[in-house]
């Protein structure tokens, strides 16, 4: 398969591969290879010093056959329309595999949020909504957080939309703060969801989770709760996490052979995700180059940062001990690396299955907003566990039945559901 690291080419290559296996109708492929709608726009923002800065924004709606488009908004300096297209496409498959009645969308702004003050951030997110509000809504497209955006920003977006539309509309955005229309358990949802699929995968592989070691890439929202879940729910050991150091402009792996303490590391992490290296060293942690996480002698690898991290170059560093890769990130593995992983027989929980917990609780949040009745955290996490376990089982069953690689099986489950909805609506 192609050695691309362009995220959208990756998403299309993965789809094409399975479309060929399924001998999908060419018209159906025409619909699914590309997003249905895209918005590209400029957002002028008054900065604190009085000047105006203009930001590039995107919202891509990939497919809404199964329900309103759904997916986060990413703020990242290297954001491109192709990244947003890929992420929107993966959202369509994610919602289908998780069996929630939503389609796929994604948004992005080319910006490093760490360079903005809180009031500049507020004006930027309100500006984003001012441009796009007529094209989103609880029944057509529902944004949420992603890399670089926070619950507070979602609260501001919901407020702006409500003001512009003249109606309190909590269901237009999910991932809002608790007390401001948000759902309990949303913060933990993606990371814990990863761990529910890891638990099911280890059960299938007949491996005792409590004897397992994991290496995690990243230390953002997904990685933090994946680490906590692996330790507290599965009783396993996490030997490292990694992060992007804003000052040094490089990433580091932070490890401890007998197990990291994610709560301690969180307490020495600043709001942009940089870990205080001195404090970590004092507490006995070893600071290594950024990609050290991938060559650790562990049973489980959890890439939970950005796309394209396991690629033609890095895949060969994976230890022969690794039995499971659980993709907490979106698109962490390139098609080229996938071939190597497949040939080595490593079991993979593919991204849009593994990290579907976030959007699943987003869906629960929308349901609670519609009912205007809120569940306890226990109720939310129990419903999440049921959904993730069922989603994992549907993909595993498909993989066993068709003797297919787990990623291909996940595509088969997802494509079948989206195609069925398109047929029922008379689109194809």
Which residues here bind ligand GLU, judged by CB under 6 A? 70-72, 94, 144, 146, 174-175, 330, 355, 358-359, 362
d(Cα 414, Cα 419) in Å, to the nearest integer? 9
Q: Where does 98-213 have alpha helices with state H?
A: 118-132, 151-165, 186-205
CA dihedral 193, 194, 198, 201 (to 10 degrees): 80
Report the nearest approach of ligand GLU to the CB of residue 94 (Å): 6
Please choose, from the candidates 81, 63, 82, the residue with its C-alpha nearest in 3D space to the C-alpha of residue 140: 63
Give the residue with the Cβ less far from ligand GLU, 83 or 237: 83
Q: In angstroms, what is the minimal distance from the CB of 306 to ligand GLU?
A: 12
Alpha-carbon gap, residue 396 to 200, rounded angstroms? 10
How, if at all, do strands 286-289 and 250-255 pair?
antiparallel
In the bound state with ligand GLU, the residue whose beta carbon lies nearer, of 63 and 355, is: 355
Q: 218 and 294 in contact (C-beta within 8 Å)? A: no
- Residue 277 bears catalytic tag: no
Rounded Cα distance between 28 and 30, Å, is 5
Cβ-closest position to ligand GLU: 72
Q: Are 224 and 231 in contact (CB under 8 A)?
A: no
| Min dist. Cβ of residue 62 to ligand GLU (A) | 13
CB nearer to ligand GLU: give 176 or 213.
176
Rounded Cα distance between 101 and 176, Å, is 20
C-alpha to C-alpha distance for 303 and 154, rounded to whole angstroms: 26
Cβ of residue 259: shortest distance to ligand GLU, in angstroms? 28
Q: What is the DSSP letter of 34?
A: S
Dihedrals φ, ψ of 263, to 5°? -70, -40
Closest to ligand GLU by CB, 158 or 359? 359
Residue 162 or 362: the one with the smaller Cβ distance to ligand GLU is 362
Q: 3-state SS of the chain: helix, strand, coil percent to 5?
A: 50, 20, 30
State the nearest-atom distance from the C-beta of 161 to ligand GLU, in Å: 15
265-270's contacts with Cβ under 8 Å and 24+ in sequence apart are: 265/219, 265/241, 266/224, 269/219, 269/243
Closest separation in Å from C-beta 366 to ligand GLU: 9
> Cβ closer to ligand GLU: 218 or 236?
218
Out of 70, 94, 106, 213, the active site residue is 106
Residues forming the active site: 106
């Amino acid at each position: 398969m192609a050695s691309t690291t362009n995220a959208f080419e990756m998403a299309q290559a993965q789809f094409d591969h399975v479309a060929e296996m399924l001998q999908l109708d060419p018209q159906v492929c025409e619909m699914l290879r590309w997003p249905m709608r895209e918005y590209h726009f400029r957002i002028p923002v008054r900065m604190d010093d009085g000047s105006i800065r203009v930001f590039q924004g995107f919202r891509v709606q990939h497919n809404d056959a199964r329900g309103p488009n759904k997916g986060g908004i990413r703020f990242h300096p290297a954001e491109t329309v192709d990244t947003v297209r890929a992420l929107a496409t993966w959202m369509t498959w994610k919602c289908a595999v998780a069996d929630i009645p939503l389609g796929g969308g994604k948004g992005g702004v080319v910006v490093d949020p760490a360079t903005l003050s809180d009031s500049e951030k507020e004006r930027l997110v309100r500006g984003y909504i001012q441009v796009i509000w007529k094209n989103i809504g609880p029944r057509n497209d529902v944004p949420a957080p992603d890399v670089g955006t926070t619950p507070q920003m979602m609260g501001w977006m919901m407020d702006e939309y409500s003001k512009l539309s003249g109606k309190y509309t909590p269901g237009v955005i999910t991932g809002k703060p608790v007390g401001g229309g948000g759902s309990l358990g949303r913060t933990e949802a993606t990371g814990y969801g990863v761990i529910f699929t890891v638990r099911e995968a280890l059960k299938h592989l007949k491996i005792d989770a409590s004897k397992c070691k994991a290496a995690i890439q990243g230390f953002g929202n997904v990685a933090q709760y994946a680490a906590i879940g692996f330790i507290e729910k599965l009783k396993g050991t996490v030997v490292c996490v990694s992060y992007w150091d804003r000052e040094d402009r490089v990433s580091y792996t932070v490890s401890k052979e007998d197990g990291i303490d994610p709560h301690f590391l969180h307490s020495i992490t600043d709001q942009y995700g940089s870990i205080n290296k001195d404090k970590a060293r004092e507490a006995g942690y070893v600071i290594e180059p950024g990609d050290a996480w991938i060559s650790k002698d562990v049973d489980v690898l959890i890439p939970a940062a950005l796309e394209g991290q396991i690629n033609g170059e890095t895949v060969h560093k994976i230890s022969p001990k690794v039995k499971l890769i659980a993709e907490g990130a979106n698109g962490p593995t390139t098609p080229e690396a996938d071939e190597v992983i497949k040939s080595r027989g490593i079991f993979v929980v593919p991204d849009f299955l593994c990290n579907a917990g976030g959007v699943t609780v987003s869906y629960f949040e929308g349901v609670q907003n519609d009912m205007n009745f809120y569940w306890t955290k226990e109720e939310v996490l129990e419903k999440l566990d049921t959904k993730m376990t069922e989603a994992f089982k549907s993909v595993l069953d498909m993989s066993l039945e068709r003797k297919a690689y787990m990623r291909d099986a996940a595509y088969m489950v997802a494509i079948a559901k989206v195609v069925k909805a398109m047929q029922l609506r008379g689109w194809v």
